[in-house]
Chains A and B, each alone.
Chain A
Amino acid sequence: MINLVIDNKKIQAEGGSTILQAAQNNGIKIPTLCYHEELTASGSCRLCSVEITKGKRTKIVTSCIYQVEEGLIVNTQSERVMNVRRLVLQLLMARCPESEVIQEIAEKVDVKPQTRFQLDEDKGKCILCRQCVKVCEEVVGVSAIGFSYRGADKVVGPPFMEPSQTCIGCGACAYVCPTGHIIMEDLGDERIIWGKHFKMAKCKVCGKLLAPEDQLKYISKTTGVPLDNLTTCVDCR
C-alpha cells in the first residue's frame, strides 16, 4: 500500500491506482467530466486537476491519470486548482451554452459564466470528452466513430460524417454521453443514430423489440452464440 495525503487527510491507496480513485475511495470529491470508470482515462477535460507537492516541487496534474506515489501531498482545492477548474467550466459553458449538465456542475462549484466569452452556436452539447469514441472502441469494439479535424473544429462522428459501415446501432455512445449531445431515436421497429437507420429485431416468441439486427449479428459473431438463440428475449427464454 502507498501512503499519501489528500487535503490534509492521511490515506492509503493501492499501488497503480490513480489519485482520483484514492480520493473517491476515501470520500473526497473531485469533480470529473470526461472520466468513466469502465474506460481508459484520457485526461482531456482537465476538470479533475489537482495540485501535488513532491519535496519542494509543486505542480498541477490530472487526478484521473496520475498514479499515487509514496509521500505525495495532494491538494484538490488550492487556488491554482480552482483557477483551472473555473476556466475549464467557463470555457465549456461558452462552448455549450445549452448544456444543463455543465451548468449544474458549475453551480455546484460556484463558478459563474464568463460574460467576456462569445457563446458558440454550432457545437451543440458536445464537449469532446471522448467517452463515446472510447466506449465504441474499448467496450463495443467496432470503432465506428472517431474524431475529424482538430482544435475547436474537432468533431465526433463516423468517417466523413456518412452512415458508418461498422456501426451496429448499439447506442453505447449515446448512453455514456454525459451531456446528452448524441441523439438516438427509436421509431417503432427502426432506430436512427449517426444518420444510419437500423432495423430492430423482434423476440420471435413475444414479438417485443429487442435490439438492432446488426447488433445481434455482431454479438453472435464475436461470442459464437448462434443468432437464433439471441432472438428470444430474456422473458421468453
Chain B
Amino acid sequence: MNSLLAKMRAKGIKSLAPSKTKIMVGMATCGIASGAELVYNALADEIKKQKLDIILSKTGCIGMCYREPLVDVIEPTHPRLTYSKVSPKDVTAILNQIGEGKKKDKKPYCRIDEENLIINEEKMSYLTSTLPDDMKVIPLMSEIDFYKKQVKIATRNCGFIDPGNIDEYIARGGYFSLQKILFGIEPEKVIDEVEGSGLRGRGGGGFPTGFKWRSCRNAPGEVKYVICNGDEGDPGAYMDRSIMEGDPHSVIEGMIIGAYAIGAQEGYIYVRDEYPLAVRALTEAVSQAREGGFLGKDIFNSGFSFDIKISKGSGAFVCGESTALMASLEGKAGEPRAKYVHTVEHGLWDQPSNLNNVETWANVPVIMSRGKDWFSQIGSKKSTGTKVFSLVGNVKNVGLIEIPMGTTLKEIVYDIGGGIPKGKKLKAVQTGGPSGGCIPEGLIDLPVGFDELTKAGSMMGSGGMIIMDENICMVDVARYFEEFLQGESCGKCVPCREGVRRMREILEDICNGKGRDGDIELLEDMSQAIIDGSLCALGSSAPNPVLSTIRYFRDEYNAHILEKRCPAGVCQELAHAE
C-alpha cells in the first residue's frame, strides 16, 4: 500500500470514529433548506458555552429528507444515533443526554451499530461494547422501511463522511481502487471490467459505459478528455447534486480511473452554478486530491498524469445534452449539434471525449474494487446495479433513494415511500424528468429499468421520480412540463423551438376550456414530427409528457375538451359551481 494512502486512511479512521464524542449535521442543500444550518450553529454555540469536548462536523445527504434536519451523535463504543426533525431548541436536550448512563428522553429516530462497507466489505463498527438497554428500542437504520430495500453504491458515503475531508473518504475505501488499477491492471482490462459489469449511463440515456470508454480509447488522437456531466436540471431532482455535495471524491476517483482506461490527460467537471455547495465541495476536493498526489503529474509515481478542471454552467437545461455541454465548455453558446459524428471521436475541441454523468462516475471505484461479476448480479439482466432516485411529490417519505434496478414502482411508492399521504389514491408515477412520462397506477408492478420505463412510454432519465395522487390533473401536468421545455429549448431547430410552444399553447387551451375536437390527434401528429425532426434529445423527448398522458389518460383529455370538465378539479377555468 502506498504509504501516504495508508497514513491518510489511518487519519480518516480516527476522524470517522474518534475517541471522543462526535456530532454530525446533515448539511447538504436539502438539509440546509429545512434548517440544518440553524441547528449546526446552535450546536456550535452550545458546545462552546458548555465547554464540551465534542467534535462538530458536517456531512452530506443520507437520503431521509423527510426527516431533516438530521443530527448524528457518535459516542465512542456506542451506536451511531440519528436524531431527526431537529430544531435549534432541541439542541440542549440532545447535548444533555450525551454521556454514560444518561437517559435518552429525546428519542433518536434510528441507530447504526455497524456497517459493511460496500466498496470493500470491511466492517465499520460503531458499537464496540454491549448495547445499552435503553438503546435497544431504537430501530436500526437498515431495518426501517425507508432503507430496507436500498443498496447504496453511488451514494455509499453520503451522510457518512465530511465531504471536505479526503481522509474520511479514504478511510471508507476511497482511492484504493485507483491504486489497484495504476499498479497492475492494464487500461484495456479496466474497460473489460466496466463493460462486463453492465454499467449503463446514469444520466438517462442508458448507453453502455464500457462501450463508450472503449470507443473513446480506440478513437485516433493524442489529446483526449473525460468529462463529468453535473448539469442536473430536472425540476425536483437532486441525485447528482447530493453526490457532488456529499461525496465529491467518489466522482473524482471515478474520473481518474476512466481517464487512465481511456488514455485521457485532462478532465472537466461541468457543474451548474446554481449548485453553490456542490461547486465548493468539488473545488475543495479537487485541490485536496491534487495535494495528496491523486491528481496532477505522475500520480502515485505510476507515470500516469491527469488533472481536473471545474467549469461552472449558468443554468441551461439543454447543457445537460453532451454536445451542448461541450460547446458551453468551449465558451460558446450552449447549443447542441447533430451527433452523426460521435463525441467519443470528435468532442471537446474536436478531440475524442468521453462524457459520463455524476452518478455513473461514482459507481466506477466500487466496480473496480468488487469486480464486474459482483456488480452485474445486482439489479436486472439488462439494467445492472442500482439507480438513485429523488422520490418527491405526493409520497410520505420524500427523499433520496438508491435501489437495485428491477425494484418495482410499487415497492418504491409503498415500501420505501410509505405510500400516499392523507389516505389518497395513487394516480401516476412520473419518471425521467420533464421529458419523461407518466406511468399510471395500473402499471405499478413495473420493475425499474432503462428498457422497461421506455417501453411504458416514459424513460429512466437521470432519476427524478414524482408521485402523483388523485388530485393531480394529467393535462395540467403535461402543460407544466411543456412550459418548462419551451423555456429551456435552445432555439436552434424548428421542431423543438416552435413545436413545443405550440403544443404548450394547445394544452393551455385545453386546460382553459378552449380545447377543440381534434386537438388530441393533432398533438399526437405533432409529437411524432417533433420526435423525428428534432436535432437533439431535448426536442426528441419533449413530446413524452404529452404522449404518455394521452396514452394512459385519454379520458381525462376528452373530459376537458368535450365536456369542459377537469375530473381532478385542478383547472380553474373548468371549475363549476354545482
A-side residues, CB < 8 A to B, are: 42-47, 49, 60-62, 65-67, 80, 83-84, 86-88, 91-92, 94-95, 114, 116-118, 127-128, 130, 146-147, 149-154
Contacts and interface: CB of A to CB of B under 8 A. Distances in A.
Contacts of B488: 150-151
Contacts of A84: 495, 529, 532-533
Given A46-B533, A118-B505, A87 B493 contact: no
Interface string B79-100: 0000000000000000000000
30 contacts: A42-B492, A43-B338, A43-B535, A44-B492, A46-B534, A61-B340, A62-B338, A65-B338, A65-B340, A84-B533, A87-B499, A87-B529, A91-B502, A94-B498, A94-B502, A114-B522, A116-B502, A116-B516, A116-B522, A128-B494, A146-B333, A147-B491, A149-B491, A150-B488, A151-B489, A151-B490, A152-B486, A152-B491, A153-B491, A154-B490
A69 to B, nearest CB: 10
Interface in B347-380: none
Contacts of A154: 490-491, 497
Nearest to B526: A87
Contact of A91 (B487, B489, B499, B522): B499
Contact of B535 (A46, A91, A146): A46
B497 A151 contact: yes
Given A62-B338, A116-B516, A117-B502, A91 B492 contact: no
B471 interface: no
A167 B526 CA distance: 40
Nearest to A82: B529
Interface in B504-555: 505-506, 516, 519, 522, 525-526, 528-530, 532-535
B316 interface: yes
Nearest to B333: A147
A152 B497 contact: yes
Contact of A86 (B497, B529, B534): B529
Residue of B490, B525, B529 with highest tally of chain A CB at under 10 A: B529
B495 A87 contact: yes
Contacts of B530: 87
Contact of A88 (B487, B505, B525, B533): B533
Contacts of B156: none
Contact of A152 (B318, B338, B501, B525): B501
Contacts, number: 106
Contacts of A94: 498, 502
A92 B494 contact: yes
Contacts of A146: 333
Interface of B: 316, 318, 333, 337-338, 340, 486-495, 497-499, 501-502, 505-506, 516, 519, 522, 525-526, 528-530, 532-535
Nearest to B529: A87
A146 B492 CA distance: 12
Nearest to A129: B494
Contacts of A61: 338, 340
Given A83-B532, A86-B529, A152-B489, A46 B497 contact: no
Residue of B497, B506, B522 with highest tally of chain A CB at under 10 A: B497
Contacts of B516: 116
A153 B486 CA distance: 10
Contacts of A80: 528, 532
Contact of B493 (A46, A67, A116): A46
A208 B368 CA distance: 76
Contacts of B526: 87
A66 B489 CA distance: 23
Given A46-B493, A46-B494, 13 more contacts: A43-B337, A46-B495, A46-B535, A87-B526, A91-B499, A127-B494, A128-B491, A150-B316, A150-B490, A151-B486, A151-B491, A152-B498, A153-B491
A43 to B, nearest CB: 5
Given A117-B502, A151-B497, A44 B490 contact: no
A67 B338 CA distance: 12
A117 B522 CA distance: 11
Residue of B486, B488, B493 with highest tally of chain A CB at under 10 A: B493
B251 to A, nearest CB: 28
Nearest to B516: A116
A53 B532 CA distance: 14
B498 A91 contact: yes
Contacts of B337: 43
Nearest to A117: B502
B138 to A, nearest CB: 52
B505 A45 contact: no
A91 B316 contact: no
Nearest to B341: A67
B537 to A, nearest CB: 14
B540 to A, nearest CB: 10
Contacts of A86: 529
Nearest to A45: B494
Nearest to B533: A84
Nearest to B492: A44
A41 to B, nearest CB: 9
Nearest to A42: B492
3 cross-chain pairs, A with B, having the tightest CB-CB distances, nearest first = A154-B491, A91-B498, A87-B529
Contact of B532 (A42, A47, A60, A152): A60
B501 A151 contact: yes
A118 B493 CA distance: 19
Given A87-B530, A91-B495, A152-B501, A44 B535 contact: yes
A92 to B, nearest CB: 6
